[in-house]
Amino acid sequence: MTQIHTDLAKRLIGEQFPKWAHLEVKPVKFSGHDNRTFHLGDEMSVRLPSEAAYAPQVEKENKWLPILSKELSLPISAPVAKGNPTEEYPLPWSINKWIEGDTVTKQNVRDLNEFAADLGSFLVELQAIDASNGPVAGAHNFYRGGLISIYDEEARGAIENNKDVFDETVLKHLWNLALQSTWERKPVWVQMLHQETYSLRTESFVP
C-alpha cells in the first residue's frame, strides 16, 4: 500500500479536483485509524482509507450520510466529492465538509453529565431513523452490529492469552452466554466508535 502523506493528498486534489488545488492541504491534528485525514482549506477535509479493507466506507458514507443528516438535530460529516483510485493510490477516497471542534477530553468538557445526556440523546435520535433499507452488518464494517459469533475464534484466543490475568472459567461462561443472545427488535443504525478520540466538542456535542 502506498504511504499516505500530505504530498500524495495534494497530488490527488490537483489531478482530480484542480479547482481546489490552491487550497492548503495539511494533516489534521488527530487522524483516525481507518482513514488518513487532511484539512483542505478551512472548510473541507480529505479522507484517504489507510487500507483496502476500509475503502467500502467511502461509498457507504457518500450514500447514507446525506440521508441521515436530514433526520438528526446535530451536524454530521457531509460528503462534498468522491475521489477515484489512481495508479499511485489505488483506492477510492473522499472530500467531506469539515466540522470545527475539539477532540473530547475530560479537561475540555464543561459538564460530563450534560455531555453524556447530549450523546445519549443523539444515539436515541440515530436509532429512531428507519434502518430497514440500510446496509446490514458485513465485511464492509467488520460485521459490527451483527452476530457476535463472527468473533468467536478471536474472543476465545483472547481469553486463552489472558488466563493469567483473568478467570478463564468466568470469561468462557460469559462469552458462551453472549453467544446465545440475539437481536429480536427492528433493525437500528449503530455508531460503533464512542471513544473520546472519535467525538468532537463544539458547544456541546458533535458526532
Report pLDDT digits (tens) over 57-72: 999 999 999 999 999 9
> How far is residue 99's CA from residue 27's CA, in Å, rounded to a whole number?
15
Cell numbers found for residue 113: 453529565
**Contact, 54 vs 35, CB < 8 A?**
yes
3-state secondary structure 136-162: CCCHHHCCCCCCHHHHHHHHHHHHHHC
pLDDT at 84 over 70: yes
Any domain includes 29: yes
**Contact, 204 vs 115, CB < 8 A?**
yes
Q: What is the mean pLDDT of the chain?
A: 88
Tell me, what CATH number does 21's domain have? Answer: 3.30.200.20
Q: Is the pTM of this model over 0.85?
A: no
Give residue 207's pLDDT band: very low, low, confident or very high (50, 70, 90). very low
- Structural domain including 90 reads 6-100
Number of domains in the chain: 1
